[in-house]
Amino acid sequence: MTMLDTSSEGTAHATPGIPAVRLSGVTKRFGDGPTVIDDVSLDVAEGEFVCLLGASGCGKSTLLNLVAGLDAPTAGKVEVAGGSAALMFQEAALLPWLTAAQNVELALRLRGVGRRERRVRSSELLDLVRLRDAGGKRVHELSGGMRQRVAMARALAQESGVLLMDEPFAALDAITRDVLHEELVRIRESQSLTVLFVTHNVREAVRLGDRVVLLSSRPGRIAKEYPVSFEQPRRIESPEVAALSVTITDDLRAEIRRHGGQS
């Protein structure tokens, strides 16, 4: 379905009242193997930040790949506003022989953006992720947090209103992760992004999300959903985040015990 009004400038915007992402009875099996995801239906509203949470092997990343168009469902339907979404992986996956700016420009080049406009837009995106002076640095000169900022700028260069994030901060230390949480909230709000975010970290999910969706294990189904009603900015150690995190953690542990899985 076509849900975005697009232009040559800025991020595309979804038509009001229509979900930016819609999953309708989505099931996924790989070959003759067991069902990984079973009959998942989920709407993500324009501008909403939804976190997918669950034990290892519950199908979170598989679901994200289906939304990204990297794989097709065995049954059901995946619809994304404008037809495509930007994807940010756990690893930055930057090309080491290119500078930070050139890594961002590569995404623009693949979209057919001209050289002069690529340089201008790359500079704007690096400025957005607070790396204005790092454009000329190569990957080995960047810290882990800086690499993830470049990866975020590269994802934003795809100019999609939908951003998919697969545990992008899992490998970072706690302080760097907390800083990037703040940056992601700022960028999401300034760019009016819809975000679908996969994580194992319950507090991270509550810290960032407007809604947390808990998946069961083997096969992945929606077990519970939790609206996060308190406003941003939030802190990961705040009492409200901690209280809801305890509730979700208890439910997650119950799901793990029920299915005999491991987190």
Q: What percent of the chain is helix, strand and coil (3-state, nearest 5)?
A: 40, 25, 40
Residue 224 predicted with pLDDT over 70: yes
Task: Please give the pLDDT value at position 17.
Answer: 58
Residue 5 predicted with pLDDT over 70: no
Do 230 and 248 lie in one domain? The reply is: yes
Query: One-letter amino acid identity for 91?
Result: E
Do 117 and 206 lie in one domain? The reply is: no
Task: Please give the pLDDT value at position 260.
Answer: 67
**Averaged over 173-193, what is the pLDDT?**
94
Residue 187 predicted with pLDDT over 50: yes
Sort strands 35-44 and 49-53 into parallel, antiparallel or unpaired: unpaired
Please say which residue of 111, 127, 159 terminates a domain.
159
Give domain status of residue 1, yes or no.
no
What single DSSP character describes residue 99? Answer: B
Residue 14 predicted with pLDDT over 70: no
Residue 15 predicted with pLDDT over 80: no
Host domain of residue 173? 18-36+44-85+161-258
Task: Please give the pLDDT value at position 218.
Answer: 83
Residue 11 predicted with pLDDT over 50: no
Tens of pLDDT, residues 50-99: 999 998 889 999 999 999 999 999 999 999 988 899 999 888 999 999 99
Tens of pLDDT, residues 19-38: 999 999 999 999 888 999 99
Whole-number percent of the chain with pLDDT over 90: 81
Helix segments in 98-232, DSSP class H: 100-110, 115-128, 144-156, 174-191, 202-208
Residue 1 predicted with pLDDT over 80: no
Sort strands 35-44 and 4-5 into parallel, antiparallel or unpaired: unpaired
Task: Please give the pLDDT value at position 33.
Answer: 87
Region class of 35: left (phi > 0), else alpha (psi between -120 and 50), else beta:
beta
Give domain status of residue 65, yes or no.
yes
Do 32 and 133 lie in one domain? The reply is: no
- Of 26, 18, 15, residue with least CA distance to 78: 26
Task: Please give the pLDDT value at position 69.
Answer: 95
Give domain status of residue 81, yes or no.
yes
Flag the least confident range among 7-16, 32-41, 147-156: 7-16
Do 192 and 221 lie in one domain? The reply is: yes
Interatomic CA distance for residues 81 and 77, integer angstroms? 13
**Averaged over 164-189, what is the pLDDT?**
94
- Is the separation of the CB atoms in 50 and 64 below 8 Å? no
Long-range contact list for 3-7, CB < 8 A, 24+ apart?
3/79, 3/81, 3/82, 4/81, 4/82, 4/161, 6/82, 6/159
Do 75 and 32 lie in one domain? The reply is: yes
Rounded to a whole number of angstroms, the CA Rg of the chain reads: 18
Give domain status of residue 206, yes or no.
yes
Do 177 and 71 lie in one domain? The reply is: yes
Do 195 and 246 lie in one domain? The reply is: yes
Give domain status of residue 177, yes or no.
yes
Interatomic CA distance for residues 178 and 141, integer angstroms? 22
Task: Please give the pLDDT value at position 90.
Answer: 87
Task: Please give the pLDDT value at position 9.
Answer: 38
Interatomic CA distance for residues 141 and 100, integer angstroms? 10
- Of 71, 11, 14, 19, residue with least CA distance to 43: 19
**Averaged over 136-152, what is the pLDDT?**
95
